[in-house]
């Protein structure tokens, strides 16, 4: 059970409930073993009607009582497994939320979803109902063997027990294959979940490029693989099932050929023979449960291995146990000789150095892939970086507390991500305490979004769909701007978040943002240079290096990339207006 070392504590919390359930399993087993003894007495004394009547009534009482006990045992054991399942999913979700972007770059979201659902369910079945099914053989088999030895010669019981030894040997041989096939099925299910998640999230892209048939073909390929792996697992389980059925049939033959002859020779009664066959049946039925449990064991083992990979994952960014957080943060940023690469062999940023005084605006521009978004990710400490390269308010980024740094920033992402909730809930997302509707409306007005929200049938209670799919690109970006403003951070970061709005809306937004961001440090990443022309400082990045820096007028005077891009964009704007 060492492979379940990390999972067992979730079930151990409910040991009292599981202990009660296991005790009930024992009582049910005793009741079921007692009934054949009573029926034996009835068979051996058919003419004593009063005794037979009492025995029958007692059998009925035991039957009803064992039925109630079966219900209670399931209520305790299965209920405990459901509680443990809830705790495990909560711990898994908490772990995933604390992992940083490098982990999610290496693991597919659909596969992670499969681990959090089907893998957790496999473990629940094994450590919940599975415990119930395996507990009965543990209790019933020794008692049944003892009673068999009391009613028949030891060598008869030994001969009838030969199939048991055969099963033990073959189970040991089949176990590695069952585990391998179970793991393959779980991994294939993860691939299917990931493919479905990608297609559902990106269905507009799929339709826009007419890739429905290609995606269906890819899905069919994954489904075929999943089918083949399931069939392989089914074949392994079928071998085990065949073994169990054959052993049961062999046991029946041995009972007739050996046990029956021995009993007849020993002048055993019909009741003795009935009792012997009943107990042998109760001895072999649990083998079916053992086979089912063994199949669950390997599937659960594969699931535990996949969940361990998540629980063992270490965040790339390590936060200090006692992080610092200035009492009155100002938002001053200092970057010194910062170099970074997602992989050591491919650096993205090269020795960047700049200073952003508190309350000023920094513009970041440059060609696509020049490292602008990467720099923003590092300022928010989403990736590990060397000590001494980034400081905020004079405190090295590696010494900040996570909560303090997260409160400091208000991000407006490039993709305009929204949750499948109402507009009100999306705009309130960054606040620990729910803001009033008046605050939300005022912030939406600042983001030039309030007028459009008023036109929605349910206003601020309108559901925006997954990733905000029911809103336009510009509406999503403005909703993200309102969310960041409502968070009221010291550092506002706009990652090309005005690209989806028209130039007139951009101008109105920028004028409002300059007013709202007064006293806040603001970083604007943009492809349209009109978004940064009012910035106190503009950095031009090219292949991860700062190639130009200064204010708008200064950069125009140098005649470099900034000046050429400005002239081209201005000409394009004039042509569009014509």
Is a pLDDT exceeding 70 seen at residue 257? no
pLDDT of residue 463: 80
Say yes or no: 231 and 126 in one domain: yes
pTM: 0.71
**Residue 26 domain-assigned (yes or no):** yes
Say yes or no: 261 and 381 in one domain: no
Q: Specify whether the CB–CB gap between 444 and 471 falls below 8 A.
A: no
Q: What is the CATH number of the domain that holds 568?
A: 3.40.50.300
Say yes or no: 371 and 469 in one domain: yes
**Residue 413 domain-assigned (yes or no):** yes
- CA distances, 360 to each of 36, 76, 375, 381, 512 (Å): 88, 62, 18, 21, 16
Say yes or no: 305 and 426 in one domain: no
Say yes or no: 213 and 349 in one domain: no
Q: What is the CATH number of the domain that holds 11?
A: 1.20.1560.10
Determine the straight-line distance between the first and last CA of the chain, rounded to whole angstroms: 75
**Residue 20 domain-assigned (yes or no):** yes
**Residue 269 domain-assigned (yes or no):** yes
DSSP summary character for residue 326: -
User: How many structural domains comprise the chain?
Assistant: 2
pLDDT of residue 539: 92
Say yes or no: 142 and 275 in one domain: yes
Say yes or no: 307 and 355 in one domain: no
Average pLDDT, the chain: 79
Least confident of 76-80, 159-163, 389-393, 476-480: 159-163
| Three-state DSSP class for residue 149 | helix
Say yes or no: 370 and 438 in one domain: yes
Q: Specify whether the CB–CB gap between 274 and 291 falls below 8 A.
A: no
Indicate the pairing of strand 361-366 with strand 537-542. parallel
Tell me which residue range forms the domain holding 217: 2-311
Say yes or no: 277 and 369 in one domain: no
HEC readout, 452-477: HHHCCCCHHHCECCHHHCCCCHHHHH
More confident: 407 or 248: 407
Choose the most confident range, by mean pLDDT, from 237-251, 265-279, 410-424, 523-537.
523-537
**Residue 62 domain-assigned (yes or no):** yes
| Three-state DSSP class for residue 525 | strand
pLDDT of residue 174: 64
Segment 165-224, tens digit of pLDDT: 666 666 666 666 766 776 677 677 777 777 776 676 666 566 655 667 777 787 788 788
Say yes or no: 341 and 307 in one domain: no
Segment 307-337, tens digit of pLDDT: 888 888 888 888 887 777 777 888 899 999 9
**Residue 320 domain-assigned (yes or no):** no
Say yes or no: 347 and 250 in one domain: no
More confident: 129 or 334: 334
Is a pLDDT exceeding 80 seen at residue 251? no
Q: Give the pLDDT mean for 221-249.
A: 75
pLDDT of residue 48: 75
**Residue 318 domain-assigned (yes or no):** no
**Residue 192 domain-assigned (yes or no):** yes
Say yes or no: 257 and 290 in one domain: yes
Segment 44-79, tens digit of pLDDT: 777 777 877 887 888 888 888 888 888 898 888 888
CA 5 to chain centre: 19
């Amino acid at each position: 059970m060492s492979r379940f070392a990390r999972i067992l504590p979730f079930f151990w919390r409910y040991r009292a409930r599981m202990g009660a359930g296991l005790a009930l399993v024992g009582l049910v087993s005793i009741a079921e073993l007692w009934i054949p003894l009573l029926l034996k007495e009835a068979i051996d004394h058919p003419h004593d009607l009063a005794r037979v009547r009492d025995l029958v009534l007692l059998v009925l009482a035991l039957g009803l009582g064992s039925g109630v006990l079966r219900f209670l045992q399931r209520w305790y054991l299965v209920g405990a497994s459901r509680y443990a399942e809830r705790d495990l999913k909560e711990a898994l979700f908490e772990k995933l939320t604390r992992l940083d972007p490098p982990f999610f770059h290496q693991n597919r979201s659909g596969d992670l979803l499969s681990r959090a659902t089907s893998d957790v369910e496999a473990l629940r079945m094994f450590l919940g109902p599975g415990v119930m099914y395996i507990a009965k053989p543990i209790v019933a088999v020794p008692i049944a063997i003892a009673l068999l030895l009391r009613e028949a010669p030891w060598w008869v019981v030994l001969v009838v027990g030969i199939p048991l030894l055969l099963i033990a040997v073959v189970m040991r041989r089949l176990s590695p294959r069952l585990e391998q096939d179970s793991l393959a099925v779980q991994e294939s299910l993860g691939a299917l979940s990931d493919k479905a998640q990608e297609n559902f999230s990106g269905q507009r892209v799929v339709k826009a490029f007419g890739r429905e048939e290609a995606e269906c073909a890819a899905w069919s390929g994954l489904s075929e693989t999943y089918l083949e792996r399931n069939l392989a697992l089914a074949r392994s389980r079928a071998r085990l099932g065949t073994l169990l059925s054959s052993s049961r049939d062999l046991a029946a033959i041995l009972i007739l050929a050996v046990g029956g002859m021995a009993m007849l020779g020993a002048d055993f009664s019909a009741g003795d023979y009935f009792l012997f066959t009943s107990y042998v049946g109760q001895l072999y039925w649990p083998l079916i449960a053992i086979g089912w449990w063994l199949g669950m064991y390997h599937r659960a083992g594969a699931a535990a291995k996949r969940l361990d990979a998540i629980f063992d994952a270490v965040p790339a960014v390590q936060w200090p146990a006692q992080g610092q957080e200035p009492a009155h943060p100002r938002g001053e940023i200092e970057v010194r000789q910062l170099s970074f690469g997602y992989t050591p062999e491919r650096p993205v940023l090269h020795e960047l150095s700049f200073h952003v005084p508190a309350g000023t605006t920094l513009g970041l521009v440059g060609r696509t892939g020049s490292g602008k978004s990467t720099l923003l990710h590092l300022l928010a400490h989403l990736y590990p970086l060397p000590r001494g390269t980034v400081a905020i308010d004079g405190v090295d980024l590696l010494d900040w507390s996570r909560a303090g740094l997260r409160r400091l920033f208000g991000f407006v992402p490039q993709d305009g991500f929204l949750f499948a909730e109402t507009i009100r809930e999306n705009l309130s997302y960054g606040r620990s305490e729910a803001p009033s509707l008046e605050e939300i409306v005022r912030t939406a007005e600042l983001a030039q979004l309030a007028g459009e929200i008023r036109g929605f049938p349910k206003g601020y209670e309108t559901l925006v769909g997954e990733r905000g799919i029911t809103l336009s690109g510009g509406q999503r970006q403005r909703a993200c701007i309102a969310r960041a403003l409502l968070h009221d951070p010291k550092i506002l970061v706009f990652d090309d978040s005005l690209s989806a709005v028209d130039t007139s809306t951009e101008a109105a937004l920028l004028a409002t943002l300059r007013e709202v961001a007064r006293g806040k440090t603001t970083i604007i990443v943009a492809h349209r240079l009109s978004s940064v022309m009012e910035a106190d400082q503009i950095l031009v990045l090219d292949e991860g290096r700062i190639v130009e820096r200064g204010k708008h007028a200064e950069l125009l005077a140098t005649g470099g990339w900034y000046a050429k891009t400005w002239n081209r964009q201005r000409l394009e704007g004039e042509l569009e207006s014509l």
